[in-house]
């Protein structure tokens, strides 16, 4: 890498002013929150032997690549940091930054102080606000289709999911308290995993 004349590698290592044009703070900040550790982590990242080379080769041979490549911890950090700024209905891959359904369920259960089984309970004619809020948040955050949401929340028919979403949207528009609760849970679901 050091011998390749068009590499920006030397710029990342250098503090010389001639490299000020290189926007390196963003990349280095991904390697550590501590400025003193960034260059050390960069050097380690560049020079380490990659034991996972075969796994990476398999990944690149696939027809569909993941939008984020890395450990679960790294993927969660990326989702937390960029989801709200990068979500775009016209770019389906941006939904991959969304919190997963398990995270949404955990947030709902913690917020309402209920168990997972209480969240998932369904009795005909009984309004289960936590479950309904979870359905709406899942739809808004992940963009999942009705069938996917039905599978996650134990609905027998995906048309029931559509009914729940329709009723909840009306309630959210007319009930300020419900709207505020939903906003709070939205914030909790999209914030750092370490904070919940």
Q: Cβ distance 1 to 47 under 8 Å? A: no
| 168 in the same domain as 82 | no
| 180 in the same domain as 109 | yes
Q: Is the dihedral of CA 145, 195, 193, 86 positive or negative?
A: positive
Q: Which structural domain, as residue segments, surrounds residue 130?
A: 100-195
Percent helix / strand / coil, the chain, rounded to 5: 65, 0, 35
In a domain, 28, yes or no: yes
Q: What is the pLDDT of residues 171-190, one digit of tens each?
A: 999 999 999 999 999 888 87
Q: What are phi and psi of 13, to 5 degrees?
A: -85, -25
Q: How many helices and strands (H and E) does the chain possess?
A: 11, 0
Q: What is the pLDDT of residues 58-116, one digit of tens each?
A: 766 776 666 667 777 777 677 666 655 555 555 555 555 667 889 899 999 999 999 99
pTM for the predicted model, two decimal places: 0.53
Q: Cβ distance 119 to 131 under 8 Å? A: yes
Number of structural domains in the chain: 3
Dist CA 139 CA 121 (whole Å): 19
């Amino acid at each position: 890498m050091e011998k390749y004349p068009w590499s920006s590698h030397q710029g990342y290592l250098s503090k010389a002013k001639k490299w000020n044009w290189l926007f390196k703070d963003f990349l280095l900040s991904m390697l550590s929150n501590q400025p003193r550790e960034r260059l050390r982590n960069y050097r380690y990242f560049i020079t380490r032997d990659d034991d996972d080379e075969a796994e990476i080769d398999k990944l690149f041979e696939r027809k569909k690549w993941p939008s984020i490549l890395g450990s679960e911890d790294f993927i969660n950090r990326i989702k937390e940091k960029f989801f709200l700024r990068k979500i775009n209905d016209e770019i389906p891959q941006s939904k991959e930054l969304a919190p997963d359904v398990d995270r949404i369920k955990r947030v709902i259960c913690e917020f309402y102080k209920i168990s997972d089984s209480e969240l998932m309970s369904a009795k005909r004619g009984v309004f289960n606000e936590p479950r309904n809020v979870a359905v709406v948040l899942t739809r808004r955050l992940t963009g999942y289709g009705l069938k996917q949401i039905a599978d996650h929340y134990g609905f027998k028919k995906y048309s029931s999911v559509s009914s729940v979403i329709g009723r909840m949207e009306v309630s959210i528009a007319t009930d300020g308290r419900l709207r505020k609760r939903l906003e709070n849970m939205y914030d909790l679901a999209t914030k750092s995993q370490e904070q919940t």
